[in-house]
Amino acid sequence: MQTSFGDLTVVDAHAHFFSHRFFAALAASLPEPPSPLSEDALFDTLGKRLAFELPPKDPVELAKRWVEELDRHGLARSVLIASVPGDEDSVAAAARAFPDRFIPYFMLNPQAPNALERTKRGFRELGMKGLCLFPAMHHFHVWEKEIRPILEEVAASRGVVFVHCGVLKVGVRDKLGLPNRFDLRFANPVDLSGVAQSFDTVPFVVPHFGSGFFRELLLVADECPNLYTDTSSSNAWTSRLPTPLSLAEVFERSLDVLGAERILYGSDSSFFPRGWQKDQFETQVGVLEQLRVTHEQAAAVLGGNLTRLVP
């Protein structure tokens, strides 16, 4: 992609694959789920209320839509996250159809009875590259001993562990009025300190600069060289601090502590017609320019780092 730093290979480290199955799971969790869950019922219940395009049933068709979107903007590749537990087959299909364009990650509730089997199947059979944990959503600490076998499996498969810490907003759930019991007690990056040291070959990615736990992210990153962050979303948490930070200040402190090689550009894109979030990308490139990072540093943040982690 042509940027103010020259022609760079841009890879998005954080995008959600809102598949047909994702929306069906969402509809099924409504207080009065439509029955039967037909195409029309899904559209009536969700499509109108969300003002999103409901995706085609075949995940490969949705993947094609994403390829067009990446091409339109000049992105080389993107992570796609299966964003409801059990939807890994959808992103697997997308990545199988376009192996050069998509890096499949999947959400797992590690406390579910079949969690270890799902992890094994995900990495070994479906070719997943990353496991996504949402401790505040599923109410566990990443250091609990029940989680270890799952992390051992990720380590054996050379996968990435994405751990959502801090404030969690799931826009689609909010729009549908679904209750969220996200518990911040489980969302502190400090929970990762011992775990990241035990699994020192595994890259742990904490998105959105810790989403409010910025100080904690920096402290843990300082002691764990395998801790990464991504730059995704609007980073609205910056305005909720006792002393609000600008995005430039957040980038500057992160560059100081983590270095350019542990910051991954991400967009947090998820649905159509919005598609890839270009404005945020331009804002972030503007911040990198303002901070006068080198061409090499910009190339690392905007794609090189993720390419190194997930060749």
What residues line the site for Zn ion (CB under 5 A)? 268
Runs of H (alpha helix) within 114-234? 115-120, 135-138, 148-156, 171-176, 192-198, 214-223
Tokens 């736990």 appear where?
A: 213
Cα 257 to Cα 260: distance, rounded to the nearest angstrom = 9
Identify the CA nearest to 136 among candidates 106, 164, 107: 164
* Helix, strand, coil % in the chain, rounded to nearest 5: 50, 15, 40
Minimum distance, C-beta of residue 234 to Zn ion, in the bound complex (Å): 11
Minimum distance, C-beta of residue 295 to Zn ion, in the bound complex (Å): 28
Cα 189 to Cα 224: distance, rounded to the nearest angstrom = 11
Closer Cβ to Zn ion, 167 or 190, answer by number? 167
Q: What is the 8-class DSSP label of residue 74?
A: T
Closer Cβ to Zn ion, 188 or 269, answer by number? 269
Cα 250 to Cα 230: distance, rounded to the nearest angstrom = 12
Closer Cβ to Zn ion, 25 or 37, answer by number? 25
Per DSSP, the three-state class of 69 is helix
Closer Cβ to Zn ion, 69 or 268, answer by number? 268
Closer Cβ to Zn ion, 12 or 268, answer by number? 268
Closer Cβ to Zn ion, 99 or 171, answer by number? 171
Per DSSP, the three-state class of 10 is coil
Using CB atoms, what's the residue nearest to Zn ion? 268
Minimum distance, C-beta of residue 232 to Zn ion, in the bound complex (Å): 6
Closer Cβ to Zn ion, 188 or 267, answer by number? 267
Minimum distance, C-beta of residue 251 to Zn ion, in the bound complex (Å): 19
Cα 208 to Cα 254: distance, rounded to the nearest angstrom = 11
User: In this structure, is the dihedral angle defined by the CA atoms of residues 72, 22, 305 and 101, taken in order, positive or negative?
Assistant: negative
Cα 251 to Cα 230: distance, rounded to the nearest angstrom = 11
Cα 60 to Cα 270: distance, rounded to the nearest angstrom = 16
